[in-house]
Amino acid sequence: MRSIGVGELKALLDGGDEVTLVDVREPYEYAEGHLPGARLAPLATVPGLLDALPRDVPVYLVCAVGARSGRAAAWLSQQGVDAVNVEGGTAEWAGAGYPLVR
């Protein structure tokens, strides 16, 4: 499993490339504020997404601080997905002053 910091992710998003970003928090957490472009998929639903995730590009996983997304990324990596955990999660993203969608 790979990981990336929020600054690196912000640079990717600002670069204009299409990024597959999955937020594994619960719906109420997502509604309180999520990264731009993040798709909601609570941790328990991640196995059901396996067939829908791309295999030819990285899939970035984010949660509140990086623990749940780390578990999801580790599992997805074992399934052949190029999964990348976003270290520090939404909390670090917001702490850096980056925008959240509410």
Domain at 63, CATH number? 3.40.250.10
Q: Please state the domain count of the chain.
A: 1
Q: What is the pLDDT of residues 11-23, one digit of tens each?
A: 999 998 889 999 9
Domain containing 84 equals 2-95
Is residue 11 one of the residues assigned to a domain?
A: yes
Q: What pLDDT, on a 0 to 100 scale, did the predictor assign at position 89?
A: 98
- Does 102 fall in a domain? no
Q: What average pLDDT does the segment 57-72 reach?
A: 98
Q: Report how far residue 97's alpha carbon sits from residue 84's, in angstroms, rounded to the nearest whole number.
A: 22
Residues 66-76: what's their mean pLDDT? Answer: 98
Does residue 63 have an active-site annotation?
A: yes
Q: Look at residue 101 and tell me if it is in a domain.
A: no
Domain presence at residue 29: yes
Contact by Cβ (8 Å): 72, 39: no
Q: What is the structure's pLDDT at 16?
A: 86
Q: How far apart are CA 19 and CA 21, in angstroms?
A: 6
Residue 51 counted as domain residue: yes
User: Is residue 13 situated within a structural domain?
Assistant: yes
pTM summary value: 0.96
Could you tell me if residue 62 is inside a domain?
yes
Q: Choosing from 13, 21, 62, 63, which is the catalytic residue?
A: 63
* Average pLDDT value for the chain: 96
On whether residue 100 sits in a domain, the answer given is no
**How would you write the chain as a 3-class SS string?**
CEEECHHHHHHHHHCCCCCEEEECCCHHHHHHCECCCCEECCHHHHHHHHHHCCCCCCEEEECCCCHHHHHHHHHHHHCCCCEEEECCHHHHHHHCCCCCEC
